[in-house]
Structure 1
Amino acid sequence: MVEEHLGELVSLIFMAFALGMDAFSVSLGMGMQRIRLKRIAYIGIVIGIFHIIMPFIGIVLGKAISGQIGDVTVFIGSLLLFAIGAQMFFSAFNHEAKKFIQPTGIGLILFAFSVSLDSFSVGLSLGMSGVKTFIALLLFGGASMVLTWIGMIAGKKVHGILGVYSEMLGGSILCAFGLLLLFH
C-alpha cells in the first residue's frame, strides 16, 4: 500500500515537472523582455495559480466531458502562444510601436491561460483516474511557478547579452513552441 502511494506521488512529481517545462520554455522567451524581478515573481505566481485552476476544472469535468475537448484546448493554446510570439517578434522591428501583449493585466492572463491549457487536458484524464486531487494540484502549481521563475530569469540574463535581438529570439521561441504544440 505504501509502495502504491509512493508510486503515485512519483508519477505526479514527474507530471508536474513535465507541465512546468512548458511554462519554463515559454517563460524563457518572455523573460527576454525588460521585466523587473518583482514582476517576474508575480508572473510566476499567476502562472502557478493557473496551473492549479486549470487542472482542477479538468478534474471536475473529467468524467462528464469526452477526450475531444482536450484537443481543442491544445489548439487554442498553441494559437495564443504563436500570436504572442509573432507580436513580440515583429514589435522588435518597430521600437515606437506599443506592445500588443505585455505580461501585465489581460496580457498576463492570456499568457498564463495559454501556458496552462495543457494542464486542463491532464486534469481531464486525472479526473477519470481518481488521483489525489489536492496533492496533484499543489505539485502542478508549485512546479510551474518555480520553473517559470527559472525560465524568466534565464531569459533576462540572455537579454543582457543579446540586447535588442533577444526580443526577436524570445518571440521566435514562443512561435516555435506554439507550432510545436499545434503539430505535436
Structure 2
Amino acid sequence: MLPLGDLFSIVIMAFALGMDAFSVGLGIGMQAIRLKRIFIIGLTVGVFHILMPFIGLILGTYISNKIEGIAILGAGLLLCAIGIQMILNTILNKENQLLAPVGFGLFVFAFTVSLDSFSVGLSLGLSGLATVLAISLFGIFSAVLTWTALLIGRKTHHLLGTYSEILGGCILFGFGLNILF
C-alpha cells in the first residue's frame, strides 16, 4: 500500500507536469479547432506524458545530462516560432500555419509539452506499483488539463474573434521564452 503522503506527492507532481500542456493548450485552443481534434490532441499529449517519463526511466541520467539542454532549447525556440507565426498570420490574414496540431505537428506539440516529464522520469525514485501509478497519473492529468485549456481557448476564440489568435500566439511565444530563460 502506498503511503498517503507519497500519493499526494505524485498527484501534485502530475498536476505540475500537466500545467505545461495547459499553458500551451490555451494558445493552441484559440485557433478554430473542432471538438474531435481537441479530444485527439489531449489524448496524444496524455500518451506522450506517459511515454516520456518511461523513456526517461529507461535511458538513465547519463544520457539525459547530455541531451536535455539541447532538447529544451529546441522546444523553446519551436514554441517561440509557432507563436510569432500565429501572430503574423493573423495580422497578414493568412490561413496556413507553420505547425498545426494535426499529423506531425501534433506529435511535435505533444513532445514539446512533455519534455519536462522526461526529466522527471529520469529522477523518478519510485519502484513497482508507485512508478506505474505515477506515470499513469502524469498521462491522465496532462490529458485532462490539455482538454480543459483547449476548450477554454476555443470559447475565448469565439468571444475575441481574430484577436484570440494574436493572444494565443503571444501565449505560445511567452511560454517559449519561459522555457529558454
| TM-score range relative to shorter protein | over 0.9
Q: Which amino acid is the alignment partner of residue 37 of structure 1?
A: L
Change (3 A) 1:46 1:66: closer
1:23 Cα deviation after fit: 0.4
1:17 to 15, 18, 25: 15
Alignment-derived partner of residue 115 in structure 1: 113
Q: Which amino acid is the alignment partner of residue 130 of structure 1?
A: L
Using the size of structure 2 for normalisation, the TM-score is 0.92
Q: Deviations over 1:116-154 (max 9, x none)?
A: 11111111111xx23422111110000000000000000
Q: Which amino acid is the alignment partner of residue 120 of structure 1?
A: F
Alignment-derived partner of residue 38 in structure 2: 40
Gaps of 5+ in 1: none
Q: Aligned pair 1:93/2:100, yes or no? A: no
Q: In 1, Cα distance between the equivalents of 2:62 and 2:35?
A: 41
Alignment-derived partner of residue 178 in structure 2: 180
Instruction: Give the % identical residues.
Output: 55
Q: In 2, Cα distance between the equivalents of 1:66 and 1:116?
A: 14
Q: Indicate if the aligned counterparts of 2:64 and 2:119 stay in contact, CA closer than 8 A.
A: no
1:98 Cα deviation after fit: 1.7
Q: In 1, Cα distance between the equivalents of 2:63 and 2:157?
A: 43
1:130 to 126, 130, 135: 126
> What is the aligned length?
179
Q: Indicate if the aligned counterparts of 1:73 and 1:118 stay in contact, CA closer than 8 A.
A: no
1:89 Cα deviation after fit: 1.4
Alignment-derived partner of residue 145 in structure 1: 143
CA-based RMSD of the aligned residues comes to 1.6
1:8 Cα deviation after fit: 1.6
Worse-superposed segment, 22-31 or 59-68: 59-68
Task: Detail structure 1 runs of 4+ shifted over 4 Å in the superposition.
Answer: none
Q: Indicate if the aligned counterparts of 2:46 and 2:143 stay in contact, CA closer than 8 A.
A: yes
Alignment-derived partner of residue 51 in structure 2: 53
